[in-house]
């Protein structure tokens, strides 16, 4: 059965879905949504990968921070993430812009199973007007956040149950095995500053 897709919900709608679907999620006395990122409470720099393609190979400072991942391994991680997202009862999609200047901003789509992740990026990025949403079209960058699903360390280049992979060629980020929302923000900041 395909998930129910919730696209571009309002902040109050996302808060209500988070309270309904996410265990351990509550509102504080001041009305702030309080959530848990569980095992990962910060970025996972040792699990970050950049897909090694001809167009980026000479522009990346390869080393212990920017580690290579093959296109084949990225495709496996992406399929793993999409299969997980498609197995959920609900999926949340957010279309936003990275950057204020209309000449340079990037159209970003976030696809996630957690309404909290959708809300986080809705607050981090620039919210389109209704008119902009109507003409949004295809995104220039897509984030597949399947953080609740562990990565597969048997995939070459993925060394743990956590994987955060950027592919500049396909303009995608795949997140597995970490529910820390900051990975999405860091990925987009990396993309727009490259």
Each domain of the chain, given as residue ranges in start order, spans 4-192
| Chain center to CA of 124 | 12
At 1 the pLDDT is 78
Confidence of residue 43 (pLDDT cuts 50, 70, 90): low
Q: How far apart are CA 7 and CA 175, in angstroms?
A: 20
Specify the pTM: 0.94
Give yes or no for a contact between 64 and 74, defined as CB atoms under 8 angstroms apart: no
Higher pLDDT, 7 or 32: 7
- pLDDT, average across residues 95-120: 95
DSSP state of 157: T
- pLDDT, average across residues 72-97: 98
Q: Which of 133, 141, 132 is nearest to 107 (CA)?
A: 141
Question: Which 3 state secondary structure label does DSSP give 40?
Answer: coil
* Residue linked to tokens 């400072």: 61
At 140 the pLDDT is 97
At 38 the pLDDT is 62
- 179-191 confidence digits (pLDDT tens): 999 999 999 998 9
How is domain 4-192 classified at the CATH fold level?
A: Phosphoenolpyruvate Carboxykinase; domain 1 (3.40.449)
111 pLDDT higher than 60: yes
At 46 the pLDDT is 78
7 pLDDT higher than 80: yes
């Amino acid at each position: 059965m395909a998930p129910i897709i919730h696209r571009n919900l309002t902040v109050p709608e996302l808060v209500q879905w988070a309270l309904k679907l996410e265990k351990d999620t509550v509102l504080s006395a001041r009305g702030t949504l309080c959530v848990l990122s569980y095992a990962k409470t910060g970025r996972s720099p040792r699990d970050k990968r950049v897909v090694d393609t001809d167009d980026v190979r000479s522009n990346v400072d390869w080393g212990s921070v920017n580690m290579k991942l093959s296109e084949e391994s990225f495709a496996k991680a992406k399929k793993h993430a999409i299969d997980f997202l498609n197995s959920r009862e609900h999926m949340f999609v957010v279309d936003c812009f990275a950057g204020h200047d209309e000449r340079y901003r990037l159209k970003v789509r976030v696809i996630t199973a957690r309404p909290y992740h959708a809300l986080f990026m809705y607050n981090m990025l620039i919210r389109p007007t209704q008119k902009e949403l109507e003409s949004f079209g295809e995104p220039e960058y897509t984030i597949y956040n399947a953080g609740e699903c562990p990565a597969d360390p048997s995939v070459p280049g993925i060394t743990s149950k956590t994987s955060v992979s950027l592919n500049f060629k396909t303009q995608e980020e795949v997140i597995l095995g970490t529910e820390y929302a900051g990975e999405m923000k860091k990925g987009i900041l990396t993309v727009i500053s490259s």
